[in-house]
Amino acid sequence: MGRLTKVVMTLMLLATACQSTVAADQNQNELLFVRRIAPLLAAKCVACHGSDRREGGLDLRTRQSLTAGGDSGLPLILPGAVEQSPLLLAVQRQSADWSAMPPNEGDRLTEQQLGWIRSWLAGGAFWPSPERQRELAETHAAAWSAEDGIQVATSGGLSSEWTTRRYAPESLWALQPVQRPTLTDSSDHPIDRLLALRCPPELQAAPATDVLTFVRRATFDLTGLPPSPAEVDEFVTACGGADGAALESTRGTAAISRLIERLLNSQHYGERMSQHWLDVVRYADSSGFANDYERGNAWRYRDYVVRAFNGDKPWNQFVIEQLAGDELDPGSSENLIAVGFLRMGPWELTGMEVEKIARQRFLDDVVNSVGESFLSQSLQCARCHDHKFDPVPTRDYYSMQAVFATTQISERDAAFLPVERTDGFEERRYLDQRQSEYLRMLAELDELLLRNAVQWYQQQGRNADQWLSAVAEARQEGRVQSGQGSATRRKSSDVFSRARKLMGERGFPEDQYPPKLVGFTPQQFGLERVARKGLERLKWEFERYEPFALSVYSGATREFRTVNAPVRPPTDPLSPGEVEETCILTGGDPFAAG
């Protein structure tokens, strides 16, 4: 081979190597564009420099428009001069010649993102065709997902950056469909094999328990109660002994099966299992907050859950009844009781709170309770912003809230079911006694106020004839109302207050008739408050013995200044009131519809 031939072949090999290197560099630069640069431009730039808007005449959707520049006429990328490229100068936010981009300080690029842009410019700023971009994305999807996380399809966040963000695969395990694992080893129980898959090697399983311990554990776990001595003896006899070997014998296996069946058929099984669900839904017999009024009829929801477990109610039916039982069958007491689930959160409306805020607090509580109870997913974070950790956008939060936009709290007429326990209702007589005592206290205080009023007129040197006429009329009204009142809603005489109201209606200035609680001592003032508050609380406690359910109905939102007594649904659910429209609330503020 001649010398010239060798030189030519060497040059050809070098050229081939250079071409391979250039191709490899271009491929890496294209991968960087598809993986980092294109999503970054879409998230940070295209909203203002794209098809709908072109601030400064600039379009960042193609390389051609990027090199053409905007109104300035200068190209934004200078591959041979990375640090002088207007694109990099703008996103660095330090140039006097180029506006800081993105304009919002909170959207500024991180050092890592700036590094991606530098590398892309230094590598030639290649912009592959749409077809090439799809090819690269599909080819490397698995590897990129393992390194950067995976995207989750949602309805879309409030920003494109949130919508396209990635999640570590291991953090999404709870959102994946349940799959039955394949277990090849059949030497022991499947549960033991599943535990062995994740059990640290240094952690050894406990030895098989003895018969006495087993019967106690099983009984406590399934009923919450200890076994009786007779039940323990019966189980030991059935197993043929008290040691661990007896449990693993044929007799022991059969005895265990009979024991579990007996416990599952026990009434106490439902009582025990319902404790777990009632904890999840935050069951309480009072409404919380400052007044903490009794929820006299909440026991009916508690017993509904107990019946559901004891009756082996299908899970889908259990869920639907609690979310929409009143819609499925408004005439069913069982369904009206079931939607008490939506009332389990703390709630009150006093004169010191804005009604609209109290209403929004109820809706927020219902949405989050549905998420935590049925999805094991707290949704409260998405009330004010897209969820910071989970793929739950704000629009989904308010979409779910729209489902409950017409849900109104109410104690609804629901006849007692034959299976409900109403024995023991005779204890109501103790509430009747308390009510009578409070009414007696108020009647005595009312007579005292009437005497004080007469003394007030004497001290003022005024004629009391008009006042005495108002008192006589107020007494007559009181006798009529007393004859029409129900046994559970009896009112105090309150002649003094009615007389004052009549004086005002007749046009007398307020300074010309006795002031409220005229002549009361501090002790008498305290007694009056105790009696009135006591009667107020009794309204809720009497509900325990009435055929009403702690429930909801669908209708317009009525206006309430305060809620200090059980609320009954109106005859027409859509009138009076407002049918609320649901929209995203900026920062969760009910007065800042977004």
Q: In angstroms, rounded to a whole number, what is the distance separating the alpha carbons of residues 380 and 364?
A: 7
Q: What angle in degrees, to the nearest 10, is found between the helix axes of 428-460 and 495-505?
A: 50
Structure token digits, residue 174:
């709870």
| Choice among 37-41, 266-270, 393-397, 430-434 with the minimum mean pLDDT | 37-41
| Choice among 166-170, 383-387, 398-402, 458-462 with the minimum mean pLDDT | 166-170
Per-residue model confidence as pLDDT tens digits over 138-161 = 888 778 877 788 888 899 998 877
Is 401 within 8 Å of 409 (Cβ atoms)? no
| Choice among 170-179, 325-334, 521-530 with the minimum mean pLDDT | 170-179
Half-sphere exposure of 340 (CA within 13 A, CB side): 29
**Between 538 and 1, whose confidence is greater?**
538
Radius of gyration of the chain (CA): 38
Q: Is the pLDDT of residue 490 over 50?
A: no
pLDDT of res. 52: 67
The pLDDT mean for the chain works out to: 88
Q: Is the pLDDT of residue 519 over 70?
A: yes
Q: In angstroms, rounded to a whole number, what is the distance separating the alpha carbons of residues 297 and 543?
A: 6
Q: Is the pLDDT of residue 186 over 80?
A: no
Q: What is the mean pLDDT of residues 161-181?
A: 84
Domain boundaries, the chain: 3-148, 207-265, 286-424+574-588, 436-544
Cβ neighbours of residue 524 closer than 8 Å, sequence gap 6 or more: 445, 448, 517
Task: Assign 206 a pLDDT band (cuts: 50, 70, 90).
Answer: confident
Q: In angstroms, rounded to a whole number, what is the distance separating the alpha carbons of residues 542 and 489?
A: 9
Q: Is the pLDDT of residue 323 over 90?
A: yes
Q: In angstroms, rounded to a whole number, what is the distance separating the alpha carbons of residues 159 and 162?
A: 5
Per-residue model confidence as pLDDT tens digits over 442-460 = 999 999 999 999 999 999 9
pLDDT of res. 484: 53
Half-sphere exposure of 540 (CA within 13 A, CB side): 21
Per-residue model confidence as pLDDT tens digits over 349-378 = 998 889 999 999 999 999 999 999 999 899
> ∠ CA(300), CA(304), CA(307), 5° rounding?
135
Q: What is the mean pLDDT of residues 406-433?
A: 95
| Choice among 36-50, 115-129, 255-269, 439-453 with the minimum mean pLDDT | 36-50
Residues of the chain above pLDDT 90, percent: 56
Cβ neighbours of residue 302 closer than 8 Å, sequence gap 6 or more: 274, 278, 283
**Between 558 and 478, whose confidence is greater?**
558
Q: In angstroms, rounded to a whole number, what is the distance separating the alpha carbons of residues 363 and 360?
A: 5
Q: What is the mean pLDDT of residues 4-12?
A: 55
Q: In angstroms, rounded to a whole number, what is the distance separating the alpha carbons of residues 264 and 340?
A: 26
Is 380 within 8 Å of 404 (Cβ atoms)? no
pLDDT of res. 363: 95
Per-residue model confidence as pLDDT tens digits over 243-252 = 878 888 889 9
Task: Assign 492 a pLDDT band (cuts: 50, 70, 90).
Answer: low
Phi, psi of 451 (to 5 degrees): -65, -40
Q: What is the mean pLDDT of residues 210-235?
A: 96
Q: In angstroms, rounded to a whole number, what is the distance separating the alpha carbons of residues 256 and 258?
A: 5
Q: What angle in degrees, to the nearest 10, is found between the helix axes of 250-264 and 211-223?
A: 20
Residues of the chain above pLDDT 70, percent: 93
Is 169 within 8 Å of 150 (Cβ atoms)? yes
